[in-house]
Amino acid sequence: MLPPQSGPQASHDILQEWVANHRMFVATLEELAGQLAALQPPSKERAAASQQQPSALLQRLLDRAPSEQLAAYASGTLPAKDHLQRSLPEALDANLRLLGVLAAEMRRFVGQVEAAADAAAAAALAGGVDDGSGSSSSAERGAETALLMAGALVGVSRETELVERATAAFTLTTPPEEVSAAAMVLALRPFVDDTLLSAALADKGMQAQQRGT
């Protein structure tokens, strides 16, 4: 987490933190989907497979090196692990809480990006941004930085709204397929222009103070 800041260096760091939180949000969704799937009753296909006898080769392997994982593979079912069943509710609750924390953090970053975009626009109107050399850069450079910040703000703001809707929608009763599908969509960052975001992160105006830190 970053404390509230302002200025070029802050805007660069804030965007990086937003990207990191977005990636963690997607990873948490993927893990949550797997946990919810573990709560589902076995499908008809898996139930039918469990009635079939393992092949002779698998049976010999089971006889020589019995293991819970191999038995599960042979029967087409997952092993019933008592410790997993006990820890699963706690893990589910932790991930649902984490989604909320990440969504709130990303919303806070959006507010900071908005403040940074306003600062960049004000600097552009004033004739440029400080490039760290002791003199102002050209007005064109200031306008470019302001436009990049404004474009980045639109993308991260809309993407954060999508994250917030996902956070509010998912519960312990949500089908795992829906959570998995949401993770796949969010992984694509549909509202974020990756080229524009990369340009914003690489913009010298946004990193003007980095060389002095």
Element (H, E) at 3: none
pLDDT in the model for residue 27: 95
pLDDT in the model for residue 7: 44
pLDDT in the model for residue 138: 59
pLDDT in the model for residue 116: 84
Number of C-alpha atoms within 13 angstroms, CB side, residue 163? 32
Contacts of 120 (CB under 8 A, 6+ apart): 8, 11, 129, 142, 145, 146, 148, 149, 150, 205, 206
CA atoms of 124 and 140, how far apart (whole Å): 8
Q: Give domain limits for the chain.
A: 8-42+81-212, 43-76
pLDDT in the model for residue 39: 79
User: Taking the complete model, does pTM exceed 0.85, yes or no?
Assistant: no
pLDDT in the model for residue 26: 95
pLDDT in the model for residue 140: 75
pLDDT in the model for residue 33: 92
CA atoms of 132 and 149, how far apart (whole Å): 19
> Dihedral of CA 68/70/89/106: which sign?
positive
Q: What share of the chain is helix, strand, coil (3-state, %, to 5)?
A: 75, 0, 25
- ∠22-25-29 over CA atoms, to 5°? 145
- One-letter amino acid at 99 equals L
| Per-residue pLDDT tens digits of the chain, which is 213 residues long | 444 444 444 678 899 999 999 999 999 999 999 988 887 765 555 555 445 555 565 566 566 656 555 566 556 554 444 444 557 788 899 999 999 999 999 999 999 989 888 888 887 787 655 555 544 555 677 788 888 889 999 999 999 999 999 999 999 899 999 999 999 999 999 999 999 888 888 875 555 534 443
pLDDT in the model for residue 104: 97
